[in-house]
Structure formats: structure tokens, C-alpha cells
Amino acid sequence: MRVWRGYNSPTELRQPKRHQLDPKMSLPWACSLVIVSQTQLPPLGGHSFSMLFGIEAGCIINRGKKMPFASVADSIAFEKEMPWADRDVPKSLFSLLTQTAVKFPRHNAVSFQLLSGAQDKAETFTWSQLQQKTAQAANLFRSLGVGPQDVVAYVLPNCNETVLALLGGATAGVVSPVNPLLDPAQIAAVLRETNAKVVVTLKAFPKTDVAQNTAQAVAEAPNVHTVLEIDLNRYLTPPKKWLVPLLRPKNPISHQAKVLDFNQELEKQNTSLDFEDIQEDRVAALFHTGGTTGMPKVAQHLSSGIIYNGWVGATLLFTEEDNVICPLPLFHVLASHVILMAALSSGAHVIFPTPAGYRGDGVFDNFWKLVERWKVTFIVGVPTAISALMQRPVDADISSVKTSFSGSAPLPVELFRRFEEATGVTIVEGYGLTEATCLVSGNPLDGEKKIGSIGVRFPYTDIKIVKSTDKGLVECATDEIGEICISSPGVWAGNTYTDGDKNQNLYFQDTHLRTGDLGRIDGDEYLWITGRAKDLIIRGGHNIDPALIEEALLGNSDVAFAGAIGQPDAHAGELPCVYVELIEGASATKAELLEYCLQNVPERAAQPKHVEIMPELPKTAVGKVFKPDLRKKAITRVYDAALDEAGLSARVQTVVDDKKRGLVAQVSSDNSDDEISAVLGGFSRPWERGV
């Protein structure tokens, strides 16, 4: 492949209740892939969820030059050809974009529609148009003083401008995607941590508070000197377009940053770069991740790591003939690095339906018609979205669909079985995480699929399983469980997080990222995830894997989701408890579920001491159970019960996430500190007076 300089324009389940993902959740620590195969379904019947890498009826779909991926031997074969550093791939994202725009100038690149109807207005950029508009965006950011090491943050839902902010920001400087549905304080924390100079966000718009929350956040981030606003009204047609100015909410500004119109400023810029796109590796993106504590951390992504993700996708997944529907947010690595960068590398077409994706009004009800409209070949989803789609009839021609895959945490084996029984679909898994710039492993395409495994490593990725001993960390034997450690072009050893303190003790042998995930590698070099090190429930020094409880409960026909955590205990440190979401119409009681656990949780110490049924478990923006909120709920319940039993009026007002101390209970009461300490001092989680 020719490496373009990049500064010349080309010429051209069972079904749980229908629910929305909780928009307030921080991003998950890990981004893994669950891929499902359409090998037993008729072309127009059932629900079409196929293998990630183009498998159909057990064979590779040959669309373009796709390489075989049957076992770890194929990954080794890639590596024997040449080192990753010698691969003839572009050095910058703009060079990658330019290469594709030159090759496929008139092919569709990205499409967006504000509303979910199959006939609603949509806007499409060809690859030539996307390259030119990206150049304009990069020029705009440079004109605002953004240099190669300066940060452009976008606080945006999905739209075509989000793609321009991502690519233009990474070309002019460093781009920092921010979840637009975080609280203002969380957004401000990310803006300060990244030292963002420019923020791209929405103009005030009906039915969303993104603009208002961002304005509040910018007031707490004095480093931001310019805010660029995007008016979504341009995506509407009359009469709705006429109504927006009348219904537009107010957005009082208390910050000192200059506010400009993104599209107006964009049109003033040249359609080729005004500066040289330096062909060297550098930090191109900063992605925040909530981790298991809920506190945002910021991971640094090099251009080379992002391009590696695109190379894997273009080598094993997409061609220029594919149409990919991606209702997932562009502030997450699955949509931005795995999907968009694979399209950038291959020339595939990506469709983003509605700003909120799967959370958008009518998306589930209209989904199959959208598939027909865009002649979709690949469907991108999350487990909760796939479950919701299963309760809708396939009311459109979806014969174009070859593949569907889902991003989430590893799914319990019982959930796999249940899904297969309900749909006749085979499920396979893959694995990735934000800190590794995403992709790590995947089940082999035309090799053996081991249910519950997350497959074999991708080319140029090395996986080690390690355990702690008296002599320090050592590698585990085959099938021995330990911590998963990763080395790949996406891992920047020593520099994973912007906060240097968080990089301490984060690597094995100074090369392999310690993921915090527990797993094993079997004799065929398949990787299996068994849990999260930080999710372990430590009961009197005994480590309990929450998956033991969760998988047992998911075997109950009434249970849709389960989240097991350790609740505070003054004697044992922690005791296992579990929160449950039932399927729609289920009638299981707390007592019945406790009895079910007694019969089905295999380890006596893991028997939950408390079961609580919730209307809906808190979930991240990509559908994972959000355990920090469950921990806060458990602390409140246990502490309040202890205070009440002691005859005190004190109660937990809230549980906050302190950067140094972790979860801290804030207590409001007229009782003295000594009285409260006498009750709560025996628990491991600290307390303090509420504000």
C-alpha cells in the first residue's frame, strides 16, 4: 500500500423488559466483543446475528482480500511475514483517510439520520467529502490555537459532525471524546484532566440537556478557551425544522470561553490541510473510562494503536462493499476504533441512526426497516439491544445482513445457552479494552469455536496469564487462572493513563498491561475470562468470584440480569450480595431467589446474604451492569441498618467516589462523631459528615 502524506485532497434470551441504557453511567473499563452467527436461520426469518469476521455456514465470506483466521497459527503467520513496525500502513489517521478517499472517492463513507424512520432525512458523506471536511475541521482547530499536543474534546451524541470532530481533532492535535450524558461535574473532571483547549458540543436543542451540562462543565474547566456548537436542526425538515427555534431551551452561560458555530466556522476553511501532517507516531486520542470505581481515568491512544485496530478490521472484517449500522456511541472505543477505523481502513460505509443510537426514539421499532433502507451487511449491537430487538418482528427485507456482533462484558455461559435455545443462533466471543486501544482476541473464523471462550489472540498481540507469589508475579501454567496481561501495538507500556500514578504497578515485565481481568489460556491457546480481580468479593480473606453467583442466578428462568458485589461487613470485611433484574412478567420473589442460590451456587462461602430485585439494574452506555452504583446502594443499606439498630438518627445522605479514598459514605445527623464512629468505624469503607 502507498503511504499518502495526507495533506493533498483526493479528486474525488430471553427478553428482559424493554429498557433504556442508563445515560448517567461512566464508561466501562473493558470493551469486549460478543459475536453471533447466522448459521441456522432462513434469510428473511428470525433474527439475523452473524459472526464478527464474516462467517456464514462455517465458511469465510470472500469479500475482498480477507486473510484466513482459523487458529493462533494464523496470527503467528502474520507475524512471521514481518514485524508490525514494518507493515506498510499509514502513520497518521489523516493519511489513512486520504488513502481510502483516493481509492474510493465516490463510495459512501458515513451516514447519519436524526430521526429513526426509514424514510426520514439522512445525510451521507462520500470518502472524498469526508476527507475534505476532516481537513476543514483540522484547519479550524489549528486556527483556534490547537497544536499537535493540544486537546480538542467533543461532548456530543452521534452525528456526522462527531465524526469530523474525532478525525479533525486527531489530525490537528489530540482528540478527547467525552460521554455527553455524564453529569457536569464528571465532564468538567475529564476536561481538566485532559487540559482541553477547545470543546465541540451541541447548541441547545429540545429534549436534550447536553448543551447546558457542557456549559456548566466548561465553567469548571478554565483551560477551555473556545466552545464550538453544532445545531442539529439542520438535519430536520419542515415543519419540525420551523418549530425548533420556538422550542429551543435557554442555555445560560457562566464561563468565559468564546462560543462559535461549528459549521459556520468550518465553511471558512480550506478543503486541504493548511499544515503538514507529520508522519510520525504520537498521542492522537484520550479516552476516559470509569473503571470499576466509577472515577474517570483517561487512557492515551497512539496513532499506531488506533491504526492497528483499523488494520485488523480491514484485514479480517470489512471491505468497501459493506454497509455497517452502528447505533453505538462515538465516545466509546468500540464505535470509534473498532468500527469507524476499520471502515477508514477498508472503505466500508458506516450508518449512525439517531444521536442516541439504540437509546433513540423509535430505533428498536424501526430497526429492521433501517436495515432494509441502508442494505446493511453488518449489525453492531450490545446484549441489551439484541434482547430488545428479539421482541420485535422482522418486518423488513433483511436479506443483505451477513453479520451482527455485540460489544459488552463477557457473557455468562448460561446466558449463551439461553440465547441459543431462544434463537437457534451460535454465539462466539472476542475481547478488547480501552486501555489497550481495544482489540485483543477473537474466536477463530473458520476454526473451532469454544463457547464461553474469547478466542485466540489477534496478530501482533501477546497474552500472558500471571499470578502473585512470594517471588513476585510469575506466569501461570496452561489452564491455570491468573491475571490477563496484554502486549500489542495498542498498548503503550508505561504511559497507559495520563495520570502517571495510575501507571504504577500496571505492567508485567514492563511490557504487558495488567488488565485486572482474571482468565486462563487452554492447551489450544484459547483465552477464557473468569472474572475481574477488582470485582472479587473478599470474605474474611477468602476470594469469591462474583461470576459464581451471577451465572447461577442466570440459570433461573425469571432472571434477566444479575450483579453480585461485596457488601460491607464489620466482621468479615465483605459478604456477597446480589442485585437482580427480572424478565418482563416474571414473578420470582426475594425468598425464592435466595433459595435458588442455596441450591445452585456451588461454593458455600459465595452464598449471597442479600438478594434485591430492582426494576432495572444500572448499566453503562454500552449495556454492562454498572457495579459502582450497586456498591453505593449496598453501603447505604448496610450502614443505615447498623445506625438504626444502634438507635441513632444518623443516615447515609449519599456515597461519593473520592479519588484517594474510594467510596466514602456521607452521613447527615445530629449525632456526635464518636457515636457514629462507634457504629461505622468497624466497616472497611470510610464515612464523613455530609455537606
The CATH H-level (homologous superfamily) assignment of domain 32-56+103-441 is: ANL, N-terminal domain (3.40.50.12780)
Q: Where are the beta strands (DSSP E) in 364-424?
A: 378-381, 403-408
Taking alpha carbons only, the member of 277, 267, 269 closest to residue 99 is 277
**Res 52: pLDDT:** 29
Distance CA 365, CA 393 (A): 9
Taking alpha carbons only, the member of 600, 503, 494, 500 closest to residue 548 is 600
Cell numbers representing residue 415 in the block: 446466558
pLDDT along the chain (691 residues), means of 10: 29 35 34 34 26 26 58 92 94 97 98 97 98 98 98 98 98 96 89 96 96 97 97 96 95 95 98 96 91 67 97 90 94 93 97 95 94 90 70 83 65 53 53 91 79 87 92 91 95 95 94 91 90 75 79 92 92 90 93 95 87 94 85 96 95 84 86 91 85 74
State the maximum Cα–Cα separation within the chain, in Å, rounded to a whole number: 78
**Res 293: pLDDT:** 41
Measured at the CA of 391, the angle between CA 390 and CA 394, to 5 degrees, comes to 70
Cell numbers representing residue 64 in the block: 475482498
Q: Which residue has the cell 442539529?
A: 232
Measured at the CA of 419, the angle between CA 418 and CA 421, to 5 degrees, comes to 65
Q: Provide the sign of the torsion angle of the four alpha carbons 424, 425, 426, 427, taken in this order.
A: negative
CB of 474 closer than 8 Å to CB of 480:
no
**Res 543: pLDDT:** 67
Per-residue H/E/C for 123-143? EEEEHHHHHHHHHHHHHHHHH
**Res 420: pLDDT:** 55
Burial of 513 (0-12, 13-18, 19+ CB in 10 A): buried
Per-residue H/E/C for 572-612? CEEEEEEEEEEECCCCCCHHHHHHHHHHHCCCHHHCCCEEE
Fold classified for 536-625: GMP Synthetase; Chain A, domain 3 (3.30.300)
**Res 517: pLDDT:** 85
Q: Which residue has the cell 477488582?
A: 534
**Res 421: pLDDT:** 58
541 Cβ contact list (under 8 Å, min separation 6): 573
Q: What is the pTM of this model?
A: 0.76
